[in-house]
Structure 1
Amino acid sequence: MSVGVLSIHGFSGGPYEVEPFTAYLRAHTDWLVEEPTLSGHGEELHMSGFTARHWLMDAELAFRSLAKKVDEVIIVGFSMGGIIALYLAKRYRVKKLVLLSAAAKYVSPKQLVKDFKMLASEAYHHNLTNNELFLRYQHKFNNVPLASTIEFMKLVKMVEPYYQHIQIPVYIVQGKMDGIVPYQTAQFLFDELSSKEKNLYFSDKGKHHICFEEDCSEWFPQVLMFLKGE
């Protein structure tokens, strides 16, 4: 029985976001692991003009292509990729799901407005270079159009009604220190999904990019055991 893994990255990111985990899967299995880059995403962002529909179609085409090569498909979704994974699981025959920092809820628009106000104030006082938030998101502020962020929010809203229809086995991993996706989101998803086999791992010190945290050595093997059915 041949197995394929489709790994889907997050909003304004690229396959590198999940690379430590996909590398682990490659090292410990003979599975075919594929990591498409969604339109406008990757190392260089060119997001203008691309919509949620483009990203869903990219994922569907990648899924169909992989499904032709293997008997079973597992989907790993990071952040927005977790939401796309749920979309695919509703529409196609998926064996198992792994949801990493899945963005079923995101930092509230109120919080974003607060952050932007703080940045505007610091810009006025010529203090932006010292602002950690600004340094972290400077690249994205410059390269992610507001229209793209609105498309991301649309995608999340569109997929939300699907949660209760998902019945396949799922493993959810979430960092408690995630500044992008509130960590309670993982419990919300766990409760909403209709899967009989559900697992939830909280990383106490984990931030949003969960595949790069120190406790990966703990949860990587646990997720692999789940995927192998051990």
Structure 2
Amino acid sequence: MKGCLFIHGFTGAPYEVEPLAEHIKNTTDWLVRVPTLPGHGVTLSLKGHTYKDWVEHAESELVALMQEVDEVYIVGFSMGGIIASYLAANYHVSKLVLLSAAAYYVNPKQLAVDIREMMMDLFKGNLIENELFTRYKKKIMQTPIQATFQFQKLVKTMRPYLKQLSMPVLIIQGECDGIVPLKSAHYLYKTIPSKEKQLTLLPCAKHLVCHSEDYEELQTVVEKFLHTSNEGSMLVDSNSRC
């Protein structure tokens, strides 16, 4: 039997990857696990937690899953992608999917576009309806500065493990992501030494790729990657723009 472990992002929760996790759960007989990292969830309680807590929890979930199945895949979103890479470098993981993986973070150009859209909604009196504003206002208010430092420390500490990844790897990145810049995906593709790796860029997607208008394409690409064997490196780009 196969198992698939999903790891959400910093200040996030399972909902970030829920559409994809539910799809895999409903269309296969695999064991699907979507844990909540310490201090995370719908209501954040990050104070006092370190990046080691997050990594150790994800690691314990992987070990438990490996005891139940014969083959394991990991899907990591944002910070979860960096944690997933560390786990894949240290355990026998058959395939790795990195969604908006935060090898680098904050895209100033796209962030400026998002802020401009928020300002326009503010002047129109529609700011409360701006999904990006409502989502990140809550996160900013509930995130201690020390937790942000722990996130940065995690990325710095775990990034070297990317050079140890030899299993098939799928990298997916939204081109309109204001949190993780496009250069992060290209860095991952360039740094990961696996001979079986694929980079797919989603032209309309922001950071939450599993909740973007490009989700159907993401689902198709991930499904094909997990169900078939890859043959060498492949770069998949899109010329269309939203």
**What is the deviation of 1:90?**
1.1
2:75 counterpart SS class: strand
Which region of structure 1 is more displaced relative to structure 2, 215-224 or 96-105? 215-224
Unpaired segments of 5 or more residues in structure 2? 120-125, 230-242
Residue of structure 2 in register with 1:176 after alignment? 175
Q: 1:98 to 1:29 in 2, by over 3 A?
A: same
Structure 1 vs Structure 2 CA RMSD: 2.1
1:6 counterpart SS class: strand
Q: Write the distance in 2 (CA, Å) between the matches of 1:136 and 1:29.
A: 31
Q: How does 1:91-110 map onto structure 2 within 5 Å?
A: 91-107=90-106
| 1:40-99 CA distance string (max 9 Å, x none) | 000110000000000000011000000000001100000000000001011111010000
Kindly provide the amino acid, as one letter, of the partner of residue 85 in structure 2: L
- How many residue pairs are counted as aligned between the two chains? 215
Q: 1:20 to 1:135 in 2, by over 3 A?
A: closer
Q: Write the distance in 1 (CA, Å) between the matches of 2:135 and 2:26.
A: 31
**What is the deviation of 1:191?**
0.6
Q: 1:67 to 1:207 in 2, by over 3 A?
A: same
**What is the deviation of 1:29?**
1.1
Q: TM-score, normalised by structure 2?
A: 0.83
Q: TM-score, normalised by structure 1?
A: 0.88
Residue of structure 1 in register with 2:10 after alignment? 11
Residue of structure 2 in register with 1:204 after alignment? 203
Q: How does 1:1-230 map onto structure 2 within 5 Å?
A: 2-107=1-106, 135-229=134-228
Q: Write the distance in 2 (CA, Å) between the matches of 1:101 and 1:73.
A: 21
Sequence identity, in percent? 48
Moved >6 Å (runs of 4+): none
Q: Write the distance in 2 (CA, Å) between the matches of 1:98 and 1:55.
A: 19
The answer to whether the Cα contact below 8 Å between 2:210 and 2:218 also exists between their aligned partners in 1 is no
Kindly provide the amino acid, as one letter, of the partner of residue 193 in structure 1: I
2:150 counterpart SS class: helix
